[in-house]
Structure formats: structure tokens, C-alpha cells
């Protein structure tokens, strides 16, 4: 009897931390998981989709308006087969969209349609992280049962030291592995 491997949707948003998502993807593939990557347009400005396509050996979704090979829209197909959905990094913008239930790009379309457990790994500037709007959005998504990983403190891309760094890749992977058991 063949054991079924988990199917993961990895959402990547437009943050400098997007390069860390490639390492997370590598760990997931090495663990034998099937991983489909969905990138926001802004994410493609930080890391090329080809990087994720090469590591996952799967087509990367970057828009909801690509021609589909079947009648099923891509975001619905991804959402339906996901055992787990993770957004790493998750920007303040994407967090707000998820909190409000907006679906205006391929990633937020997929998040809204997905019934599988969801994990967000926020990454943003300390001012954005501590903003009351961001904190309210975090409370909203947590109240809906979405797992939000703690951000780290340290050097930020803006040159400051503070809270807002995306959780370490190993921490994200360990969280996902624990949720799949």
C-alpha cells in the first residue's frame, strides 16, 4: 500500500524575506511533500518564479488570469487538494486582505477558497508590525483559527533593529510537520 504524501500550498508575498521561502520549499520537497507555489505579483519582483518552479518541479501560479488546461480554475484546484496552506512570508498587505476576506489575486483567491488548515509567517517592518491595524488583523485571523507564527526580533531590511522578522525557516517547517501528524 502506498502512503499518500501531503499536498501543501506555499504562498509567497512581496517581502525581502521571499528568498527564505525557497529554502522552506526545499525542506518541504526533501520531506517528500508535494508543494504548489502561489506568488503575488510583488513576490515575483523579489524572487523569480523559475526558482520555485525548479525546486518544486511544478508550475508556479502567479495570476488568476492564466489560461487553464481544465475547466477548474487554478485557485480552486489548489485549494481543494491542499492538506495545508502556508503563507511565508506574509506581508502586512496580504495579512489585511486575508483578515478582510478579500480575494483580488491568485494567492488571496486560494486562501479564501481553501478549507485546509492555514499558517501565516508574517514579515514586515517593526512600525508596520506594531501598528494597531496590523494587530487587529492578526487578532481577526487568529480568531478564525489561522495559525500565526511569532515574528523574530533583529536586523530588519530597513536598517533598524526590531520586531517583524519572519520566523526562521526551520521553525516554520517544524510547525508544518507537527500540524501534518
The domain that holds 67 is classified in CATH as 3.40.50.1950
Q: Which of 24-33, 44-53, 141-150, 157-166 has the lowest mean pLDDT?
A: 157-166
pLDDT (average), residues 40-67: 92
Give the pLDDT score at 1: 47
Contacts of 30 (CB under 8 A, 6+ apart): none
Within-domain flag for 35: yes
Give the pLDDT score at 17: 97
Residues 68-126 have pLDDT tens digits of 566 567 888 899 999 999 999 999 999 999 999 999 999 999 999 999 999 999 999 99
Grid cell of 26 as nine digits: 526545499
Within-domain flag for 70: yes
Angle formed by the axes of helices 106-113 and 92-100, to 10°?
A: 40
* Phi, psi (degrees; rounded to nearest 5) at 35: -125, 125
Within-domain flag for 2: no
For residues 160 and 93, give the distance between their C-alpha atoms in angstroms, rounded to a whole number: 20
Residues recognised as catalytic: 158
Contacts of 139 (CB under 8 A, 6+ apart): none
Residues 74-87 have pLDDT tens digits of 888 899 999 999 99
> By residue range, what is the domain housing residue 136?
7-180
* pTM confidence score: 0.94
Q: How many domains does the chain have?
A: 1
Within-domain flag for 69: yes
Amino acid at each position: 500500500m502506498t502512503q499518500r504524501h501531503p499536498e501543501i500550498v506555499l504562498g509567497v508575498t512581496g517581502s525581502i524575506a521571499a528568498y527564505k521561502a525557497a529554502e522552506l520549499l526545499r525542506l518541504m520537497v526533501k520531506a517528500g511533500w508535494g508543494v504548489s507555489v502561489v506568488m503575488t505579483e510583488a513576490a515575483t519582483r523579489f524572487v523569480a518564479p523559475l526558482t520555485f518552479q525548479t525546486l518544486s518541479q511544478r508550475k508556479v501560479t502567479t495570476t488568476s488570469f492564466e489560461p487553464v488546461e481544465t475547466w477548474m480554475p487554478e485557485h480552486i484546484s489548489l485549494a481543494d487538494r491542499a492538506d495545508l496552506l502556508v503563507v511565508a512570508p506574509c506581508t502586512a498587505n496580504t495579512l489585511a486582505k486575508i483578515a478582510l476576506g478579500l480575494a483580488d489575486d491568485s494567492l488571496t483567491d486560494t486562501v479564501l477558497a481553501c478549507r485546509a488548515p492555514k499558517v501565516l509567517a508574517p514579515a514586515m517592518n517593526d512600525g508596520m508590525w506594531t501598528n494597531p491595524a496590523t494587530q487587529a488583523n492578526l487578532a481577526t485571523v487568529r480568531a478564525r483559527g489561522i495559525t500565526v507564527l511569532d515574528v523574530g526580533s533583529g536586523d530588519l531590511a530597513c536598517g533598524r533593529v526590531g520586531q517583524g522578522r519572519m520566523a526562521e525557516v526551520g521553525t516554520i517547517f517544524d510547525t508544518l510537520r507537527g500540524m501534518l501528524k
